[in-house]
Amino acid sequence: MIDKKILAIVVAVVLVVAGIGVLFVFNEGEKPYRSLDRSGRLMVFGNANNDDYLDGEDVSTLEKIIAEGLDWKTEYPLADANQDGVVDENDVEWVKRMVNREKMKIFYVDYYNKEQRVKSLNYPVKKCAVVGTNMLLALQSIGATSKIIGTTGEEKDPTMFSDLSTVFKVSDSSVTRADDEKISTLKNDGLNAVFTMDSTAFVKNEETIRGMGVDVVRMATSNIRDSVSAVITLGYMLELEERAGRYSKFCDDVYKEIETKAGTIKPEEIVTCINVTMSNSIGGLKSDYHEVTEHVGASNLFKEDVVTKKFEIGDEWLLNDTYDADFIIHYKQFPMKNPNLTEIWDSNGQYFTKMNAYKNGKYSIINSYMPLVVRMAYTAQVMYPELYGESYGDVICQYWIDNFQDNMKGSYLASENLLVIDSSVMA
């Protein structure tokens, strides 16, 4: 009888301990990801401690700066929350309001043609218009689709942007414009802000739009560091921090994994490449894709200090030995489903038929409709299939779709669609 009691107690203890353990593990699993980055990726003034979050730690940091008279301009560049040129008690009060997520004016770092400038924004952004495909992709990935009430009128990929097909168009067909009268219409519907790219080619009428009381936010969304920074900042502006945090973790993890694997490539195994955007623009040192190709472990041979340089049919300069690369990686938008392979291959490849990489079957067109992190995964797969795996791009792409591309989740399999077109596909 006693044995039975002891056994029952032991069983009960085991169950309780196991239950606590499971509960602990479960809670650990659900514990929100917290980035350890301290490079100021959340580009909002008030993010005093330079992390990815606006919280009580920023208030503490400000108090420390004031109490110890720290050099905030170099160590804590985002500390001056109210942008009055000093860090004092007013900033502490300002940041406390920001931490409480009050409706207020905030200051942030805006990108304008790769230059940074300080701009203000009426927080939070409840309804926005978007100009620029990369910006649209970033906002989709952080779950902001329901807040997008306007976008440009060009023909968009019906698979990728199926959730935006009925959204109001702010331009007839231009990918870079937001027409004044259309923004004015949206303003009456509660439009707070226009999100666009850092290039001056986008939203040239920025001053007019701001004159209507609509903020224009420019972010660099197409290079490694800035694309993650943009996502974190956008997440804050749109009150989507949790999702933006998860997405930034995904990006950080992929970039880190690629960086680690690229670090194992022996010098004699490093492949060479050039990258192409648009139809025939070769990416130089200032091109975002130059960084992408080198991040995966390749040596990009086109080292001119330009963003891109055109290579027209009949031009000779790219045929020189200096640019005789192992791979030509061409980033180009094409339909996510059922692309016209011959048309895409011929119209883009025609510029490079004389190059050895093309002749050797090392010319690949990667669909640039996908976010930078996915494009990078495919780039890695194309140039180092043994190192990253022959379906590495598809794996990363599928993870992104299943977790961050709500309108394609469950209905799109990366492995069943051609997102990279190369000579093996065209054979």
Q: Spell out the alpha helix ranges (H) of 31-132.
A: 56-68, 72-75, 89-99
Closest approach of Cβ 203 to another protein, in Å? Answer: 15
Selected range binding another protein among 16-24, 82-90, 275-283, 374-382, rule: CB under 8 A: 275-283
Distance CA 168, CA 182 (A): 9
Q: Is 93 in the site for another protein (CB under 8 A)?
A: no
Cα gap 327→276, rounded to integer Å: 11
The one-character DSSP state at 249 is: H
The span from the CA of 33 to the CA of 88, in Å, is 31
Instruction: Give the C-alpha separation, 211 to 328, whole Å.
Output: 45
Does 387 bind another protein (CB under 8 A)? Our answer is: no
Choices 78-86, 100-108, 114-122, 313-321 (CB under 8 A): range interacting with another protein:
313-321
Cis peptide bond N-terminal to 385, omega within 30? no
Contact 367, 336 (CB under 8 A): yes
Amino acid code (one letter) for 163: D
8 A C-beta contact, residue 272 and residue 172: no
Count the neighbouring beta carbons within 10 Å of the beta carbon of residue 381.
Answer: 23
341 is an interface residue for another protein by CB under 8 A:
no
When asked if residue 346 is in the footprint of another protein (CB under 8 A), the reply is: yes
Nearest alpha carbon to residue 141 among 259, 234, 219: 234
Query: Which of 39, 90, 116, 347 is in the footprint of another protein by CB under 8 A?
Result: 347
Q: Which of 73, 303, 310, 337 is the binder for another protein (CB under 8 A)?
A: 310
Does 338 contact another protein by CB under 8 A?
Answer: no
Min. distance of Cβ 341 from another protein in angstroms?
A: 12
Enter the DSSP assignment of 44.
B
Residue from 75, 84, 89, 172 in contact with another protein (CB under 8 A): 172
Which is closer to another protein, CB of 284 or CB of 393? Answer: 284
Which region among 49-57, 106-114, 233-241, 344-352 touches another protein (by CB under 8 A)? 344-352
Only segment of 39-47, 74-82, 98-106, 167-175 that touches another protein (CB under 8 A): 167-175
User: In this chain, which of 75, 242, 343, 390 binds another protein, going by CB under 8 A?
Assistant: 343
Q: Judged by CB under 8 A, does residue 285 bind another protein? A: no
The identity of residue 50, as a single letter, is N
Neighbours of 271 (CB within 10 A): 17
Nearest to 365 by CA among 416, 311, 309, 423: 423
Question: Which window, 82-90, 142-150, 224-232, 319-327, contacts another protein (CB under 8 A)?
Answer: 319-327
Q: Please give the size of the binding site for another protein, defined by CB under 8 A.
A: 29
Handedness of CA 39, 41, 44, 48 (dihedral sign): negative
113 lines the binding site for another protein (CB under 8 A): no
- What are the phi and psi torsion angles at 104 (to 5°)? -165, 170
Nearer to another protein, 229 or 308 (CB): 308
Residue 309 CB, shortest distance to another protein, in Å, is 7
Closer residue to another protein, CB minimum distance, 205 or 279: 279
- CA gap 350, 339 in Å, rounded: 18
Read off the tokens for 427. 């054979």
Q: Residue 264 half-sphere exposure, CB side, CA atoms within 13 Å?
A: 9
Please pick, from the candidates 265, 309, 358, 426, the single residue that binds another protein as defined by CB under 8 A: 309
Q: Least distance from C-beta 136 to another protein, angstroms?
A: 16
350 touching another protein, by CB under 8 A: yes
Residue 117 in the binding site for another protein (CB under 8 A)? no
Give me the residues that bind another protein (CB under 8 A), please.
154, 172-173, 175-176, 201, 278-279, 281, 309-317, 319-321, 324, 342-343, 346-347, 350, 354, 356
